[in-house]
Amino acid sequence: MGSNPTPSAISPERPIPCDDVPMNFTLIVHSTPDAGGGAHSALRFAEAAHRNGHHLQQVFFYHDGVMNALASRVSPQDESELLTAWQSLAASTGVQLAVCIAAASRRGVLDVGEAERLERFATLAPPFELAGLGQLIEAVMDGGPCITFVD
């Protein structure tokens, strides 16, 4: 059996070790785009997994990680645009970008439905979608490794 990858071991050039068997990954991102690199590591891992023939079941943004889905976020010129990179990943792979609804609501990340219900403005960037923990559990139960990225 292959060894489990760690975020620090993932690079665009290095294949994900898993004995050439396609895997079905679920990723959980706890990190904001500005924090110590967890969100960037998750994106690099997801890109490498897809490039190496693996399937991405879901990327679930939890706790402060929901800030990755904020449509109004602007990156400084000298930093990569993480929001656009997540959107590109979803477009090229079809992976679901699920955002914990409870964590998102606490942080003002709202889709159109929640914004109308709360009489606020929608701030969730497409194709991110609000989801409950039950949807994360379903993705994990569908099999394959679940990897969490934190700072």
Active site residues: 100
Compute, in degrees rounded to 10, the torsion defined by CA atoms 51, 11, 77, 149: 90
* DSSP per residue, 90-109: HHHH--EEEEEHHHHHHTT-
C-alpha 51 chain-centroid distance = 16
Close Cβ partners of 94 (under 8 Å, ≥ 6 residues apart)? none
CB atoms within 10 A of CB 121: 12
